[in-house]
């Protein structure tokens, strides 16, 4: 359900001549949102992130977009404004780190967490640059926190029309049961996320079923199609698992002590295999580990590989995450892939912006 709000300011009547569009991606990571915008036909001129591990993936796959290694907290409006070509409509997008708002960390993160302030830094740059279009993507849980309502009020006070909704990623072609909060704002007129077409969800089988078979600890010619090793105990556990199932399917001798307690029985979504014929569970930063969720391959006795996780995030199969000859790090690449905006959702955001500009610019 879309939540659409008109601005309080007279800027609601703001109009400009039809012009070209350029975007800057804050908190760009490995480039999921940038790649989606490019696929939708929107020029992306720069991406900012403070993680040097993002550099190669971002720059190698997103021609024309400059990777800038800098924290958004240290970014000044004048530097940001220089990226936009003269005469272009300006788009500012971003996905502030979601860990403080995620259901996986609630009770552990507080409003004193430094990452909470990054959305306010985003708002500061919007104030100073006044891009025609703004978009923010994050976890749905963010809606429950005051920082989100503050961000909305801030945009409205600047004259932006705003809308936000909870997007179910399979509706946009992502082979993953991920839900995300998408906010769109415009100085030009009302804007909202394009409504999904009625499509059959992309299944795990359709997404990764064609990739070469592997055993635990093995890799193919593609260095990203690499599976984590399994301990002898976990190998027995995955062999006892069925597609779509979890540790409850095992003989009692294989069940971990923590899952035998009353509290542990409430956590079925770990040590499980994915099912073939539905989208995957949400890909987290730990998707490469069998015990970290339902991340077991549907048939092969291993967790999904780095490449499979990236494909389930709807990255192109040839997306280059590491320089040729480099040794992949599961922890680093798991973080980049799991934290990314799904590419096909990014494309939907881009199509929403284009449709809006066709009407209002």
The model carries a pTM of: 0.90
Q: Is 54 a catalytic residue?
A: no
Predicted confidence band of residue 63 (pLDDT cuts 50, 70, 90): very high
Q: What is the pLDDT of residue 244?
A: 84
Strand residue runs (E) in the chain: 3-5, 21-26, 43-49, 66-69, 89-94, 133-138, 161-168, 179-186
Residue 5 has pLDDT above 80, yes or no: no
Q: What is the pLDDT of residue 4?
A: 66
Mean pLDDT of 307-335: 96
List all residues 6 or more positions away from 306 whose beta carbon is below 8 Å from its beta carbon.
224, 225, 226, 288, 321, 328, 330, 333, 334, 337
Predicted confidence band of residue 88 (pLDDT cuts 50, 70, 90): very high
Q: What is the pLDDT of residue 115?
A: 57
Q: What is the pLDDT of residue 268?
A: 62
Mean pLDDT of 134-140: 95
Calpha distance 124→94 (Å, rounded): 13
279 contacts 177 by C-beta, under 8 angstroms: yes
List all residues 6 or more positions away from 329 whose beta carbon is below 8 Å from its beta carbon.
none
From the candidates 28, 98, 169, 246, which is the catalytic residue?
98
Q: What is the pLDDT of residue 11?
A: 40
Q: Where are the domains of the chain?
A: 3-201+342-360
**Closest among 129, 119, 138, 118 to 160, alpha carbons compared:** 129
**Closest among 92, 163, 99, 160 to 121, alpha carbons compared:** 92
43 against 261, higher pLDDT: 43
The fold of the 3-201+342-360 domain, in CATH, is Rossmann fold (3.40.50)
């Amino acid at each position: 359900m879309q939540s659409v709000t008109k601005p309080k300011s007279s800027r609601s009547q703001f109009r400009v001549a039809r012009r070209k569009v350029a975007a800057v991606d804050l908190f760009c990571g490995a480039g999921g949102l940038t790649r989606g915008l490019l696929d939708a036909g929107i020029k992306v001129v720069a991406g900012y992130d403070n993680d040097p591990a993002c550099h190669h993936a971002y720059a190698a796959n997103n021609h024309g977009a400059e990777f800038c290694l800098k924290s958004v907290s240290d970014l000044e409006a004048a530097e940001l404004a220089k990226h936009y070509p003269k005469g272009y409509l300006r788009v500012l997008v971003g996905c502030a780190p979601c860990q403080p708002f995620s259901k996986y960390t609630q009770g552990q993160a507080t409003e004193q967490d430094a990452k909470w302030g990054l959305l306010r830094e985003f708002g500061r740059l919007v104030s100073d640059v006044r891009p025609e279009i703004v978009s923010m993507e994050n976890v749905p849980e963010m809606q429950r926190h005051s920082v989100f309502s503050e961000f909305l009020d801030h945009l409205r006070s600047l004259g932006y029309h705003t809308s936000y909704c909870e997007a179910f990623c399979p509706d946009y072609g992502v082979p993953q049961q991920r839900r995300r909060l998408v906010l769109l704002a415009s100085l030009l007129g009302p804007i909202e996320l394009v409504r999904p077409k009625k499509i059959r969800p992309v299944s795990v089988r359709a997404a990764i079923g064609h990739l070469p078979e592997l055993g635990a600890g093995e890799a193919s010619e593609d260095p990203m199609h690499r599976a984590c090793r399994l301990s002898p105990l976990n190998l027995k556990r995955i062999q006892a698992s069925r597609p779509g199932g979890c540790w409850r399917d095992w003989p009692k001798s294989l069940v971990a002590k923590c899952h035998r307690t009353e509290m542990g029985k409430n956590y079925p979504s770990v040590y499980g295999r994915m099912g073939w014929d539905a989208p995957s569970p949400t890909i987290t930063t730990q998707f490469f580990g069998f015990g970290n969720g339902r991340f077991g391959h549907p048939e092969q006795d291993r967790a999904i590989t780095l490449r499979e996780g990236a494909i389930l995030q709807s990255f192109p199969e040839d997306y280059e995450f590491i320089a040729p000859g480099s040794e992949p790090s599961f922890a680093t690449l798991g973080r980049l892939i799991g934290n990314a905006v799904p590419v096909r959702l990014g494309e939907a955001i881009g199509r929403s912006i284009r449709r809006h500009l066709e009407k209002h610019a």
